[in-house]
Amino acid sequence: MNVHVPQWPDLIPTLGGWTSEVRGQLIPNQPLDEMTTLRVGGPAQLFFRPVDEDDLAFFLKYLPAEIRVTVIGLGSNLLIRDGGLDGVVIRLPAKGFGAIDILDGHRVRAGAAVPDVQVATAAAEAGIDGLWFYRGIRGGIGGALYMNAGCYGTETRNRMIELRAVTRQGEIITLSNEQMGYLYRKSNGPRGAVFVSAMYQGFAGDSEKILTEMRTVTERRESTQPTRAKTAGSTFKNPEGHSSWKVIDEAGGRGFTFGRAQMSEMHSNFLINMGEADAFEVETVGESIRQKVRDKHGIELKWEVRRMGHFLPGREVREFMDGAPFTGAV
């Protein structure tokens, strides 16, 4: 990126002596671009990588309630703006949150930092069917729990039994599937809770058949999607009764380019960073596509990629290119 990114004021001196008891890493002004698959975004005011569940709970318990907390996983469904994120950004490391346990009754427990594909593979090798759909999702379990990730007719809510989380107040809790209030690509769990692990229910299956199906999924994805590009995956949710890629195609959005960002020519619902794009260029492509589809079909596409953070001055992106800048986090 070739944009000037201002530095945030250091939060650590304002927090008090309790931070010396935190065992994980606390890093002021940590760059976040390399932590997302789009490879864009400004710094975190304070970045926290906890050692384990108890470390996370201690940190959240003592962190003042007025400080914003943002959790990022593998960054595969995320667009962080060039001005970065104020407050604290938490990322759970594989060490401490990356275990996979095969349980009795065709159940699987997985940490939030585990890539979805690893859960699919571990379940298949154990003869557990029902989780192979995770092979088609480019992300981690934490993000899948948050957004009810799914593909090929199955969603997270169809397999997740319960999850463990740490509340914003530092309490470790267990949430049922029902308590998560899942909808299409959305959850409604406790605001501010950090998901740390989940238990899934599968069913008996033949390992070789499942692994063969997973290989088919991989081949299908690689032949139709820009899997090796800097991308956040599917950009927009499917509108009711339509496919996003199709309405984008019909609106002339395939291959649309602004700066160093493009709506993929290979798959028209994949936004890609063609090299050294910044978040402004990427989000501009997305809102331009929304404008094209609205003008052509009267359909207002909804982002599936989570957008968050601050715009740099003079580089705000307006909704549909003609509305107000969207400044919230989704």
Catalytic positions, please?
A: 185, 234, 304
Helix locations, 98-206, DSSP H: 116-125, 141-147
Query: Which of 243, 251, 236 lies closest to 298, judged by CA?
Result: 251
Q: Which CATH number is correct for 12-94, 3.40.50.300, 3.40.190.10, 3.30.1390.10, 3.30.43.10? A: 3.30.43.10
Q: What does the CA dihedral 110, 112, 113, 118 come to, rounded to 10 degrees?
A: 40
CATH fold label, 96-209: 3.30.465
**At 304, which helix (H) or strand (E)?**
none
Same CATH topology for 12-94 and 96-209: the answer is: no
Cβ-contact 243, 224 below 8 angstroms: no
**What is the model's pLDDT at position 3?**
58
Mean pLDDT by 10 residues, the chain (330 residues): 73 96 98 96 97 98 97 93 97 97 98 97 97 91 94 94 98 97 91 96 97 91 89 93 96 97 97 96 98 97 95 94 78
Query: What string of DSSP letters covers 45-79?
Result: EEEEE-SSHHHHHHHHHHS-TTS-EEE-SS-TTEE
Cβ-contact 311, 83 below 8 angstroms: yes
**What is the model's pLDDT at position 1?**
45
CATH fold label, 227-320: 3.90.78
How far CA 162 is from CA of 62, 172, 180, 199, 235, in Å, comes to 27, 13, 9, 5, 28
Helix locations, the chain, DSSP H: 12-15, 53-62, 94-97, 116-125, 141-147, 207-224, 244-250, 279-297
pTM of the model: 0.92
How far CA 185 is from CA of 191, 226, 311, in Å, comes to 16, 21, 25
The domain ranges of the chain are 12-94, 96-209, 227-320
Q: Which residues of 81-112 are buried (b: 16+ CB within 10 A; e: fewer)?
A: bbbbbbebbbbbeeebbbebeeeeebbbbbbb
**What is the model's pLDDT at position 4?**
64
* Encoded tokens for 8: 């945030």
**What is the model's pLDDT at position 228?**
86
**What is the model's pLDDT at position 329?**
60
* Encoded tokens for 158: 């169809």
